[in-house]
Structure formats: C-alpha cells, structure tokens
Amino acid sequence: MQTLHVELGERRYPIFIGSQLDPKQLLEPYIHGQQVMIVSNETVAPLYLSHYQEALKSLGKTIATCILPDGEKYKDIQHLNLIFDALLEAGFNRDCTVLALGGGVIGDMAGFASACFQRGVYFIQVPTTLLSQVDSSVGGKTGINHPLGKNMLGAFQQPQVVLADMAQLNTLPDRELSAGLSEVIKYALLGDAEFLVWLEQNMDGLVGRDADLLAEAVYRSCAHKARIVANDEKEQGERALLNLGHTFGHAIESYLGYGTWLHGEAVATGMVMAADLSQRLGWISSDDVERTKKIIKRANLPISCPKIPLDEFLGYMAHDKKVLNGQLRLVLLKQLGQAVITKDFDVELMKQAILANQHG
C-alpha cells in the first residue's frame, strides 16, 4: 500500500492506494461520530456494499444506505434530494459521516450532500472507478449538473480520507477504464513530460489492467493533483490547469446529453481540440498534436466528436466556470508537459480547432 497526503493544514488528509485494502483498519481513525450514511449506486452496491457495511458494523457504527441509479444523467437536484431524504429519515445528526462508494457521480453527489446537510458533516471517499481514483475523489470539488451547464451547483468539501482500491478496478467495464485513463493522460500533458513518456511505454499494460502499472498511474496522478490542490484549493490560479480539455469536453457532454459520452471520453476529445488550438497559435508542433492523438487513441478513447453546430458548441463554452468578467479562458499547451490558462487566443482559430476535430 502507498500513502499520499493532501496538505491543507488542519484539514490534511491521506489517500491510501493499494489492492484489497482493509476498510475497518483504514477508516476507523477518520469516522468521528456514530452514524454513517453509505451512498452508492445500483451497479456498485451489489459488488461492494456488504463489504463496507460489515467493516463499519464491526466498528459499532450505525449504518444507513442510499442507493442511486447509475449514470451522469442522474447527477441532478432531484436525485441529490434522495440523499437528504435518507439522512433525515435515518435521523442522522451533525456528527454523522457520509461515505461515497462509487465513481465520480456518486462522489460528487455524496460530497455535495455532506457539505449541505446541517451546514456540513464529515465526508469519506471510496472511489471505485479509475477516473474517480485519479481525479474527482481528490481535492474537494463536489456538485451536480444543471440543464444549462455541467457542475454548476456545488461546494468545496474535502474528505477525511480517500481509499483507492485497485482490486475494485477488476469489475470496471473497459469503456470506464479508458475514461479514467483520459484523466491520467491529462496530468502528463499539463505538467509532466516524463510521465507522458512513461504512459507511452506502458499504455498497453494499463489497458490490459496490469495492477502494478495501474497503481503507479493512480499514485502519480494523485501526487500531481495533491500538490496543486495544496497550493490552490479554491481554484484561484494553478488549479484551473486541471481543466485541460474540460471546457471543450463539457460542451460535448452538454450537447450530446449527460451520460451519452462518458466524462473521460469528452475530455479526451477536448484535449485534442486544446492541442490543435495550441498548434494553430504556434505554441506546439504538429508532431506534438499527433503524439497527443496517438496516446489518446492507444487508450481506446475518441479523438473527435460528432458534428455539433458551432453556435451551440460556443454557447455551452460560454457557461464554463473559467469565464472571468465575460471573457473565456482556456487551458492550452505551451509544450507537452506544460499547460497555461489564458485568454490570449484568436477566437477564429479556436473555432477552426473545434470544427477540425468533429466527424460525421
């Protein structure tokens, strides 16, 4: 087992990474009250819920569960209310802990619920997908979608602890594994050229579910994110770099309908668009763009999206959270392994980059 820490002063918390982790031993120091609400979904609960229930019962905890439908399209206010209903019906108080057992959607919703319930209760992340292990479970961003934009309602709510168990990736569908690799590739492109070389050397093993390689990818990705979050928890500066590919990607997700494409798939094509625009600005070479496309394709991810009317694509981008004083800011590449957030780009070139990476 490997351990990382997100350094946030008194709110410092560990990320445990390994296979067949012992939840009783690892969770006990981080559950402060008697009551634990486990939030999961209809896919994950049959696989792992009983394991965590038994561990918590052996610690003498009072347990309740809230099982939601599985999918991004359910990350909305109506299904968030089901978590509040479960907490209230169970008679839980301000000393309770909300434990997220699932992927990014469950983590986002359970975290947001824990931030709101009685003005804030304890929160624990047990991410069961690669994407949530390397990205959404770390850093405290929680929230739900709105018809006009992704993650528009939410809160910063740091967990007490994160348990990333590689054994849980064995039940992950291939498509979900690839979606997680999209966020792994993102870390390499935005800040670690050596990690990119490592991914190029090991992508076949990652796609093939080599447990040691996956653990290394999760560790290196979480280490990148932990460092950035420690420096910029509320995304006032450097943390925005973690949105490489996301402004384009969120537009794709919003237009196609939440859940039609997985988040990681949309981000993959978004990173291609960002690389394409960076090349059109003269910042990176065409070879760099091809290298970006190649590593994304090797992860079995899309490098272009279906045709989307440009005005609608731009409309969704205008709702992006990185818009500042009415100006869109993008995360682009100065070189592979070095990203910047900038408003200094030609909008016509951006339109060209969007159109060049659509098909059909």
Binding residues for NAD(+): 70-75, 104-108, 128-129, 141, 150
235 in catalytic set: yes
Q: Reduce the DSSP state of residue 40 to 3 states and report it.
A: strand
- Is 51 marked active-site? no
CA-based nearest residue to 250, from 224, 268, 234: 268
Q: Are residues 252 and 242 in contact, defined by beta-carbon separation less than 8 angstroms?
A: no
Task: Give, for 278, the enclosing helix (H) or strand (E).
Answer: helix 263-280
Look up 209 and say whether it is catalytic: no
Pick the catalytic residue from 243, 253, 265, 280: 243
| Cβ contacts of 249 within 8 Å, gap of 6 or more | 263, 266, 267, 268, 269, 270, 271
> Which residues are known binding-site members for Zn(2+)?
183, 246, 263
Q: Binding site membership: which residues? A: 70-75, 104-108, 128-129, 141, 150, 183, 246, 263
239 is catalytic: yes
Q: Of residues 41, 145, 176, 183, which has the active-site annotation?
A: 183
Sorted by sequence, the CB contacts under 8 Å of residue 338 that are 6+ apart come out as 190, 191, 193
Contact (Cβ atoms closer than 8 angstroms) between residue 36 and residue 26:
no
Is 225 an annotated catalytic residue?
A: yes
* Choice among 61, 141, 224, 329 that is catalytic: 141
For this structure, is 141 an active site residue?
yes
For residues 270 and 244, give the distance between their C-alpha atoms in angstroms, rounded to a whole number.
8
Q: Please say if 246 is a catalytic residue.
A: yes
Residue in 250, 280, 293, 329 annotated catalytic: 250
**Which position among 176, 216, 233, 235 bears the catalytic label?**
235
How crowded is the C-beta side of 132, counted as CA atoms within 13 Å? 28
- CA separation, residue 245 to residues 25, 32, 272, 339 (Å): 38, 38, 7, 11
Q: Which of 246, 280, 293, 329 is catalytic?
A: 246
Q: State phi, psi for 122 to the nearest 5 degrees.
A: -70, 155
Active site annotation includes 253: no
61, 220, 224, 225: the active-site residue: 225
- Residues catalogued as catalytic: 119, 141, 183, 225, 235, 239, 243, 246, 250, 263
